[in-house]
Structure 1
Amino acid sequence: MTSSPAIAPEIPEVFPPTLREVMLRPRWLALLAFSLVVAGVLAWLGQWQLGRAVDTAPSEPGMTEVVRPLDEVVQPGAYLAEPLVGQRVETSGRWIPSDFIVVSSRFNDDVEGYWVTGQLRIDDGGKPASIAVALGWAPTLDAADAAADDLRAAAEADPTAQVDVTGRLISDEGPARPASGVDPLTLTRMSPAMLLGRWHDIDGVAVYRQYVASQTAIGPLEAISSPAPDERSRVNWLNIFYAAEWAIFAGFALYLWYRLARDAWEKEVEDLEDAQEELQAAGPPVPRD
């Protein structure tokens, strides 16, 4: 009696998981939760930036032209808020005779010249403070030096004389090195920080970070041309740009999770297909008698 040939078992077909099944695995759900937290933080930063992109309480037009006492606008050592840059202020004090210093590269109606600056000592209630004042403009260095000498002599003759100053309050332009081959003591920027290094009698004295550009010529100088600052826009486009960046980053955090999960799914499907092809290529096992 002959036996019938054995039937070779068929190779079972394995179905790969779907993308949804991969995404619902605990590992990827945990990563999704982390991505949502990151996206939420980035979205909050974008909203915070957007909230500061529009000035909901702008200064009234022409407010910088209203003369205000200096101590009501800013305090010594404090930074000046942007809406107050160019604010007209008034103050009074006495000049420090040895601190009339010339600053070059100053333009008056597009004409280059020089400023003569001075240290104004403000004695307010026994708390002395100093602020740099640009007293006026001169077309040549010789004229500026001569004006500084005259002002120095007048201050030395009566060092306690009180003077009233009205001008625009302007932020520090920042220090800068003079050009190569120029006297290293030459000042080309109106910087109270640099003037402070050359001032005298400043022990225990508070110093303003800003300076006042006098709107009336003091001594033999010409008046400084200082027009009213342009009215600021209520919309800060740079903040809007930053807010858009945060929104893009938040979307990217979620896209990154999706891309990683999809890559893992594609790799798993590819590995299963390769294994299936290898089994089919090897054929079914040979039955034994």
Structure 2
Amino acid sequence: MFRLALTPKWLGSLLLVLVLVTCFVGLSAWQVDRARYKNDVTASAGVDEVKDFNDVMNAQAPMPGILADQRVRLSGQWIPDAQVVVPGRMQNDESGYWVVTMFAPDGARLGDGVTVADADEKTIAIPVVRGFTTDEHTAMTSEARGGQVELTARIGPIEGPVEGNDLPDGQVRTVSTSQIINMFPDLLTYSGFLIPETAGGAAASVGTDGLEQVPTTTTRDEGGFDLQSAVYALEWIIFAAMALYMWFQLLRDDYVRRRLGEDSQDTEKSVEYVVVKPAGDATIAPEVMSGLTGLPAHRHGGQKPGKKSGKRSAKTGGKTDGSTSTTDPADADPTDTSTTGGN
């Protein structure tokens, strides 16, 4: 089998398999790298660089995931009447409420190709988390002040809507723009919300009037081991092992086929005979054995050439043609009553 593996056909197929195995191992290494560093926030993402809000966000348009946690700078005014309270939020191991107020950025614009009926009559605004409190009454009565505000904030990805029919009026379970817009139909909004880092101006209203400022923790995972990528890495190693096993199995099958072919040719050269004796015979006829072995029949108990067979005729004593006839007692017929001599 080793000699067969060294033939050009199998060496070529082995080379192809080794190329595939190299690719599989490389993909596995790549997945291991992703498992270790997939969730790391890299400096190249630029999320810590402060960018102009209107350069990265457009109203009524989907927000790319890469913008999550992006730092932005914007100015505008609060819309005090457009405010919701979100219960069930945790801060400093305490459960409490977020106070979320709509904020109208200066220079806001719709996304490219987006058309909205009566857009000129509506205000573009984005939800902003003004603060946290453990007291429901404080959350429900807190109000933003009017006037110009300058914010530096991080963009948070919008949350999915959750039914909150059991909540008091003015409360929602998530910061969902679809729910907020249903509550304030005169507004147009974004696919995200803001968590302020700093607020300037007389109407800042962030972390004031009994509210604690919400920390701008990133929504991305800060590193860690990604189990899904680790499983993919293991799968690529299995594929590499399977490729080598399949090559070996095909080589082995070819070797076995060749061996069986040689054995069948040897079998055709050596012919086996089966001799069937007639019923009742104790021995095989000498002539049949002679045909099988190639030896003379008399070597198998047959009559020697030139020796007469059968019964001898009964004769009286005397000479015939000047020779004496001798009868072998063993060949004599016991039923023959003829005399063998003179009386």
- Provide TM-score, normalisation by structure 2: 0.52
Name the Cα RMSD after superposition.
4.9
- Between the aligned residues of both structures, percent identity stands at 18
Q: For CA contacts below 8 A with separation 6 or more, give which structure has more relative contact order.
A: 1
Distance 1:248 1:45 in 2: 9
**Quick one: which of 163, 166, 174 aligns to 1:182?**
166
Q: What residue identity is the alignment partner of 1:121?
A: A
Structure 1 259/129 Cα, relative in aligned 2: closer, same or farther at 3 Å? farther
Supply the distance in 2 between the matched residues of 1:138 and 1:253 (Cα, whole angstroms): 59
Question: Which residue of structure 2 aligns with residue 146 of structure 1?
Answer: 141
Distance of 1:200 and 1:230 partners within structure 2: 29
Is 1:75 matched with 2:57? yes
Q: Indicate conservation of the 8 Å contact 1:102/1:114, yes or no.
A: yes
User: Paired residue for 1:130?
Assistant: 125
Structure with the larger helix share: 1
- Could you list the per-position Cα deviations for residues 155-180 of structure 1 after superposition, in whole angstroms to 9, with x for gaps in the alignment? 6xxxxx433333343333x326358x
* Cα displacement (A) at 1:225: 3.8
Counting matched residue pairs gives: 249
Contact 1:122 1:130 in 2 (8 A): yes
Q: Which runs of 5+ in 2 are unaligned?
A: 111-122, 200-205, 275-290, 295-343
- CA, structure 1 residues 212+227, in 2 after alignment: closer, same or farther (shift >3 Å)? closer
- 1:12 matched to which residue of 2? none
Alignment of 1:134-283 (within 5 A): 134-147=129-142, 150-151=143-144, 161-172=147-158, 174-175=159-160, 177-178=162-163, 182-183=166-167, 187-192=172-177, 194-202=179-187, 205=188, 207-213=190-196, 217=206, 220-226=209-215, 237-238=225-226, 241=230, 244-245=233-234, 248-249=237-238, 251-262=240-251, 264-265=253-254, 268=257
Task: Write the distance in 2 (CA, Å) between the matches of 1:78 and 1:134.
Answer: 18
**C-alpha distance in 2 between matches for 1:226 and 1:68:** 19
Change (3 A) 1:228 1:211: closer
Mark the structure with the bigger radius of gyration: 2
Q: Structure 1: state its 5+ residue gaps.
A: 1-17, 156-160
Task: Give the residue type in structure 2 aligned to 1:132.
Answer: P
- CA gap of 1:270–1:130, structure 2 versus 1, over 3 A, is farther
Q: What are the within-5 Å matches in structure 2 for residues 47-62 of structure 1?
A: 58-59=42-43
Distance of 1:198 and 1:34 partners within structure 2: 64
Counterpart residue identity of residue 99, structure 1: A
Counterpart Cα distance in 1 of 2:24 and 2:74: 46
